[in-house]
Structure formats: structure tokens, C-alpha cells
Chain A
């Protein structure tokens, strides 16, 4: 930008333009004015967190997106109560900051928890992948306990179903009714399973995810951030008992839903908890209880 630097020459009287010293002086003044003009523009942009999704993003004439630089995002984060997570992509940060009022309005609800986590995957979606299906389930403490399933599909569609007879009984303690579990279907998200030591509870059986990682692994740090995004957005009166990543796997368990029925695999694990998932193995049989493609990235039993 060299507007002021050049402008003086255009407007100054001829005797002024040809005076070398004063010319240099005002050209120098013009350069500082130009830098202040740049500061004014950047300062205005600093107040805007998100220009929108491509190709319809708001842009200046020179193509620059009308939004702040990334180093201003922490300041918006502090003001809007939207924590930024270390492994979170910039796009996710901007989306959540721009939706801070809606996010806060739903904070403490299961929809709010899902809505808070979902943008984490936006950067991968922009690269051609899909959002995960995210479900949260909690159990009621009725005479015949029921399970209530909240689900947001990759398209963003929401469903809430209440299974007439609970298909989700984690450990036979329905009185702990404000516990909830979150499931993420990682199919199509572009992430590869993290490195885990075998199938969970049993040492060196199938080995199917051992030493996996791939080109775009969901690292332990990333998992920790996803867990935090759930728990940071929960109600004070509820208990996040688990965050479970479901990876596509032949021979593994299907993503749990409201209308599935608990069934035991021949190798011992259950497709839904059926009071078994609290322990990673069944003491009576010695077999694992959890589907091998389900990874408890948070296993947080309530006292």
C-alpha cells in the first residue's frame, strides 16, 4: 500500500514537488501514514472472526478474507468464552467463535455438547471428508429404564429417540441418571485409528489396530481435545461417563443407535453394553466385553 506516499506528489504545488528535501520528508511521512492506514484496516479486520465458507466468503478487493489474523483469535476466545484447543484447526476455531451465542445458548444440553464438538472436523470436511455421526445416550430412571438417544448425522440432521425399553444399560445403575456417553462414528472423517495396544482389555489377541496410525491419525492429543470439547460444554449437574470412538472395521461392532438390540459376538463382546461395558472383560468368561473397534477415549465411571 503506497497511497499517502504517492498522493502528496499529486497534490503538492510544483515548487513543493521539486524541492528535494521537503519531498523526501513528506514521502517519509506518507509512508508512515500508509502503515497507519494498514493498521486501521487490520484493526477493523481484527474484530471479525470468520469471513464465511468458500466460495462465498467475504473478501476485500485484493482477495483477502475479511476476518482477523489467527493471532487475534485467542482474544476473541477470551471474550466469547470459546476455548481454543491445541489440535483444533483454524477453521473450526473460527466457526465456533462465530457461533458463540448459539453454542452458549445450548451449553449444558446434549445438542449443545454435540454442536460444540462437531466443528472440530470442519477442517477435514473442507479437505473433502465428512463430519462424523455423533450420538449421545443417557438412561432414565423409570420403572422400566429407557434410553434417550440424541444423534446428529454427517449432514447435520438431528434426531432424538427414546427407546421404549432401554437398549443401553451400561452397568445396571439407572439411578445414576445424569450420566451420559458420547459416540463418534469415525467413518469417512479421513482420520485413521490411533495407535492402540491391541483390542483394549486383552493383551495381544487380534492385533488389528496395533501400531496403526496412517497418514492422518487421530492422535492422543486430538482425542484429548475432543473429550475436552464435550466435557467443557456439559451441564454442571451431569456426568460425562464416556467418549467412544467407533472406527469402521470388518467384524467389529456397528455404530450404536436407538433401535439396535444388544447382541453378543461369538468372541464375547457386546454390541451394546447390556450391563457389561463397565468392565473391559467379563469375569465369568474372561472374554472382552467391548467391541474391538470401539475406543474409549474417555472412560469416566461415576462414583
Chain B
């Protein structure tokens, strides 16, 4: 009898196998419950399931899960059903998910990369520099380039380049006033290493007086979230239809023809568009498209829009030399057109960026004091607390745990309502007040009686708008 798919895809833990084995043996008269723990026979009952799980069950489960996008994972990922990746080494790197996405859907996952760029360094000293080799020089950014969110700045090392380091022992010596251009690579992986053009400075002055006279833009990327990657994979098939299905536009907005993440035309990194509304129907061959990023419309740059337009319209632009071009003949893309002086000539059709509507929320909610046990600042005593109140450090810390969780719940659900809100009727959609109250209740275990007093009713979201969380004012009553 065939097994259910749930039974096939679910990992069979060694402990479950041991239970099965014990039950079978017991049913056949073997006194497994009377063995002495630690005795050889009891050990066999323990070792055998571990062996079976390691060499049979786990590989089998991985193989099956690796066939489905929602179940396949790369090390470091969670599957859509919440199962962690099963690799022994969870260092983020391509695994089953990336392999499946590439081989079945022709889509490459964006991995975490080190930022690289080139710098032009001049010897401003009066004597030749001491010969220096790759990795000898350290660079960092300087104002007006902003520091990173942690207050620090990325650092870089000069990378190997056989065309540059031609001196004895693979070194380079700069005469007074001479310059050289060579590659550098960030020492921190990911977007932390990104930097604007001409923002680098040389920290190492022990080889001579070295001044950076120019540096190109440095772009380091973070690994694409598995959910977003799966979504891109699923748009693959429609990208090859000349008929203009909605998914073709979704594909072209952030994925290059070769399946890699679409890079901005100006070399400043991957396009940050992750979500879009494509109008589903038109009686006069018009497609209207609004886009946003993880932070709403505000997180979409002009370069993102220009790059997405280039790829959708089939117009080469900068680094986008081979755009997909998914717009069928006789079809107009809207709702915007370019004005003068932009990336494209005046009148070129363009999609639009979503307008973010921020919704300020005022809520009150109750929780029993017992439900606040174990919080960061300790149990919160009975009473009513508000966002403008002043409390002890412990109570403040515990309240912060609850209120931040509620804010996360609200902002996540507002974003998930999507472009145009819920129940879009072609002109506008809604953010329901009832849903906001449900979000407040769902924010933290034990909350009850949520009341949202602002907004006072359902909020209308117009075509091309989305809802983001604005200022939050709260009142929490802790009941004894």
C-alpha cells in the first residue's frame, strides 16, 4: 500500500525508528522492556535505529524533499513547512534548493558575496614605496560615505592581480607621484562591504604615503531569501510565453534572461524589487504595473525602476545588455512614461512605484500578569501601562518585548495585505480594522480584548498604494 506524501516527506527520526523497532520486537515476544540499560542487547536496540536513520531514512527524506521547491533547502534555510535543512554543516551555501531551482527552473539564487572594486592609489611621498604585495594594504570608507548601521565601516584588502604585482616576489613599487589601479575585496561578506564610488581611503601607510585618488563602486550582496527565490523560480515558465501573461512581467522585473537576479543597469547591485501588482485585464491592450521592495515603495530606487523597465520593455540599458523583453506587440505598459533627462527618452512607457500609505495605529489590549512571567525585565505587575508612561527599567524592558512583538505582527500583516490592500475592486482595496485587532492579539501569547481606536474604521487603499505601519500608540492593561 502506497504511503501518503506526508509520510514520505517527513523526516523519520532515529527515536521514532527505535519506538517502531521496540514495538515490533515486543509484539513478537522479545522482552525489550526488561533489558538492562547499557547491556549489549539494549545497546543494539539503540544503535540500530541510529544507523538506519543515518544511512537510510535521512538521505531518503532529503532526496524526496529535494524534488520540491517548497521542501528543498540550502544549508541555513528553513523549508516552507518549517523543517530545517538537514545538512550536517549549516554554513550558508548552495544546496538542494539552489540546484533544483537552477536545473528545473533555470533560476540562479543570489548568494552572499564579498564586495569588490578597484582603487587608484598614488604615492604622495618623496621616495619610492616599499614593495607591497596583495593583502598588504588595508582600505576603509570615509565621510561623506555613511557608516554602517552598527556604527562601523567595512574594510578592504588589495586583491591579487598578476598584471599589477609584477615586481620581485609578486610585489608592486610606486615611484614618487606614480599611481596604480588594482582590485580590492571587502573583508566582511555581504552588503556590509558595499560602498559608493570614490569613498575609499588607504589605512596602511607603512609602505609609503598612499592616497586613494579614485575608487569604483563596491557591491556586496546578501543571500536571497529562500521564499523570494522560490517565487522567482515559479515565474520562470511564463517568461517564455510571447502571450504576455502576468507572471512574465513579474519575472522580468527582477530576473535577467539567464535566470540570475537582475542587476541594476548602473552596476550598483541587484534590483531591489520583490513584489508587484500587474493589472489582470484590459480591453484595450494596456498593462499597468506597480512595484515595491521589502520596505514598500520607499525601498525602490530610480535605478531599480529603470532597470526593470529595460528588462520588461526589451531595451538595453547600461549593464543590461540582453534584456528579456516580455511586452507583447501592440501592448502598452503603464501607468507612467518617462519625462526628459531620465534613463530613457521622453515618452518611454514605464511602470510605477507603489505609494506607501502609512497607517498610524492606536490600540489597547489586556494580558494577565501570569502571562508576562519570564520576560526580559521580569513579570509585569497589574496595572495599566501606556506608550507615553515612564516605568522602571524592568517593566519597560518587559513591555518592550510585548509591544515590539505586536508591532512586528502589525507591520508584517500590513505588508502581506499587498499592493492595493485586500479585496481590491479595480479602484481601491481595504485594510480592515478587525484585522488590525487580530494582529494585536496575535502579537504575543496571552493577549486578549484588543481594541484599535485609530484608525477608527477600515482604511481605503487606492490603486497603486500599499499600507505600511506608521506611529504606534498603545495602552496595555495587565490584569492580576
Contact = CB atoms under 8 A, between A and B. Distances in A.
A39 B8 contact: yes
Contacts of A28: 21, 24-25, 28, 30
B237 A80 contact: yes
A32 B17 contact: yes
* B: interface residue count bin: 35 or more
Interface in A17-33: 21, 24-25, 27-29, 31-33
B241 A100 contact: no
A258 interface: no
A36 B281 contact: no
A75 to B, nearest CB: 5
Interface stretch (B63-71, B156-164, B345-353, B381-389): B63-71
A302 interface: yes
Interface stretch (A64-72, A198-206, A220-228, A289-297): A64-72
Given A39-B7, A100-B237, A106-B241, A32 B279 contact: no
Given A29-B21, A101-B237, A36 B57 contact: yes
A36 B249 CA distance: 44
B459 interface: no
Contacts of B246: 236
A237 interface: yes
B241 A177 contact: no
Contacts of A78: 68-70, 234
Contacts of B234: 78-79, 81
B284 A32 contact: no
Contacts of A178: 282-285
B43 to A, nearest CB: 12
B7 A108 contact: no
B283 A46 contact: no
Interface in A219-261: 231, 233-241
B286 interface: yes
B334 to A, nearest CB: 10
Contact of B6 (A45, A71, A175): A71
B282 A233 contact: no
A191 to B, nearest CB: 28
Given A81-B234, A302-B283, A104 B240 contact: yes
B228 to A, nearest CB: 15
B282 A75 contact: no
A25 B241 contact: no
Contacts of B5: 46, 68-69, 71-72, 75
B110 to A, nearest CB: 20
B52 interface: yes
Interface in B405-443: none
B282 A42 contact: no
Most buried by B among A21, A25, A105, A233: A25
Most buried by B among A76, A107, A234, A303: A107
A235 B328 contact: yes
Contacts of A302: 281, 283
Contacts of B238: 81, 104, 107-108
A231 B70 CA distance: 26
A296 to B, nearest CB: 17
A80 B233 CA distance: 9
Contacts of B52: 29, 32-33, 36
A211 B12 CA distance: 54
Contacts of B60: 36, 39-40, 43
A75 B68 CA distance: 7
B8 A237 contact: no
B24 A31 contact: yes
B241 A69 contact: no
B298 interface: no
B44 A25 contact: yes
A188 interface: no
A238 to B, nearest CB: 7
B67 A47 contact: yes
A96 interface: no
Given A32-B17, A36-B60, A43-B8, A237 B70 contact: no
A235 B241 CA distance: 10
A122 B23 CA distance: 46
Nearest to B279: A236
B248 interface: yes
A236 B24 contact: no
A107 B245 contact: yes
Given A236-B246, A236-B278, A107 B241 contact: yes
A302 B280 CA distance: 12
Which 7 residue pairs of A and B lie closest in terms of their CB atoms, listed nearest first? Answer: A108-B243, A104-B237, A302-B283, A28-B24, A109-B243, A176-B283, A43-B64
30 contacts: A24-B25, A25-B25, A28-B28, A32-B20, A43-B63, A47-B67, A68-B5, A69-B3, A69-B5, A71-B4, A72-B5, A75-B71, A79-B70, A80-B237, A81-B247, A108-B241, A108-B328, A109-B242, A176-B283, A234-B245, A235-B331, A236-B278, A236-B279, A236-B280, A236-B281, A237-B282, A237-B328, A237-B331, A238-B285, A302-B281
Given A235-B328, A240-B281, 17 more contacts: A25-B44, A28-B21, A36-B60, A38-B3, A42-B8, A46-B64, A47-B67, A72-B5, A75-B5, A75-B70, A78-B70, A79-B104, A107-B238, A108-B242, A108-B243, A176-B284, A236-B245
